Amino acid sequence: MKVQREPFKLACIQFEPVIGRVEDNLRAMEKHTRDACAAGATVVVLPELADSGYVFADKQELASLAQPIPEGRSARVLIELAQELGIYIVSGLAEKEGDAFYNSAIFCGPDGYIGRFRKLHLWDMENPIFDPGDLGLPVFDTAIGKIGLAICYDGWFPELFRSLALAGAELVCIPTNWVPMPAQPEGTEAMSNTLHRAAAHSNGLFIACADRVGVERGQPFIGQSLIIGPKGWALAGPASRDREETLIAEIDLSQIPTSRVLNENNNIIGDRRPDVYGDPIIGK
């Protein structure tokens, strides 16, 4: 696809979904997205499971809230919104397909539905109720560049970012519901931010993480959404730990090739030694 190599604005929306209140959540998602678009955003990233909430009582509750992608109500709202506004939207959604349930992300744009990603690495009590993702690591070739997706705990696996980079991804959008990490000292930078900054630097990628805030059924979420450039430094954020807010940063994907050059003798991708450690297997 022919890519328009112009810088664009990306927004990460940090808000507080409410468990089980899909219509209320969709209204909040739409409002925040419209506000971000009015501020100039071409790409909007929303949190993980933004339509349903996160802490399900059991699989039966999940089944009552999950919907198909792209046919379901939540997906259709976002697809139509992206078309109306002429922007790209990435959002976490609870997905149902047959008897299976996935922690998924939808990707849609000015021309409608583009694709979806299903979370590969399930966290804690997601394991009894969700099925592991089975769509691999797609990289979507769009008019603004090559976009990869991941969700929350997927970001703890360096192989994921390397696989996406080798498949041509320039920007990775990550809906997330980060929770406190055990034994993290009070007041220190979130481990999630450290991991994603390292992944951006070591792969020469833009990475956009949209987290949620609040406490849901006793589970606190840590906020601190972040937009990172390909050198590993924050372009916007970290956001607050407990407030709804929207981060906006300018993304220039034409920087990717030069960002991977550390000096005249070193290239972060070109210096790899797959003869020693092999290459990760890239999913479909």
Considering the candidates 9, 12, 16, 48, report the single residue annotated as catalytic. Answer: 48
- Return mean pLDDT, the chain: 95
CATH number of 13's domain: 3.60.110.10
Please check whether residue 1 lies inside any domain of the structure: no
**Is residue 14 in a domain?**
yes
pTM: 0.95
Retrieve residue 84's tokens.
């109306």
One of 95, 119, 126, 170 is an active-site residue; which one?
Answer: 119
How distant, in Å, are the alpha carbons of 50, 76, 137, 259 from that of 90?
10, 13, 15, 25
Residue 187 pLDDT more than 60? yes
Which among 124, 122, 74, 114 has a CA at the least distance from the CA of 94?
A: 74
The percent of residues in the chain predicted with pLDDT above 90, rounded, is: 92
2 falls within a domain? no
The model's pLDDT over 2-32, given as tens digits with 9 standing for 90+, comes to: 555 789 999 999 999 999 999 999 999 999 9
pLDDT above 60: residue 242: yes
Judge residue 173's burial from the number of C-beta atoms within 10 Å of its C-beta, 0-12 exposed, 13-18 middle, 19 or more buried. Answer: buried
In a domain, 284, yes or no: no
Domain with 176 in it: 8-277
Task: For residues 22 and 66, give the distance between their C-alpha atoms in angstroms, rounded to a whole number.
Answer: 10
pLDDT reading at 144 higher than 60? yes
Instruction: Report the domain count for the chain.
Output: 1
Q: What is the pLDDT of residue 284?
A: 38
The predicted structure's pLDDT at residue 106:
98
284, 139 in Cβ contact below 8 A?
no
Catalytic residue among 12, 37, 108, 152: 152
Residue 282 pLDDT > 70: no
- Widest distance between CA atoms in the chain: 57
279: pLDDT confidence band, cut at 50, 70 and 90? confident
pLDDT of residue 280: 67
Over residues 252-258, the mean pLDDT reads 95
Active site residue 2: no
- Which pLDDT band, with edges at 50, 70 and 90, does 283 fall under? very low
48 is catalytic: yes
Residue 81: per-residue pLDDT: 98
Q: How far does CA 45 lie from the centroid of its chain?
A: 7
Residue 245 a catalytic site member: no
In a domain? residue 100: yes
Is residue 130 within 8 A of residue 119, CB to CB? The reply is yes
- For 210-228, what is the mean pLDDT? 97
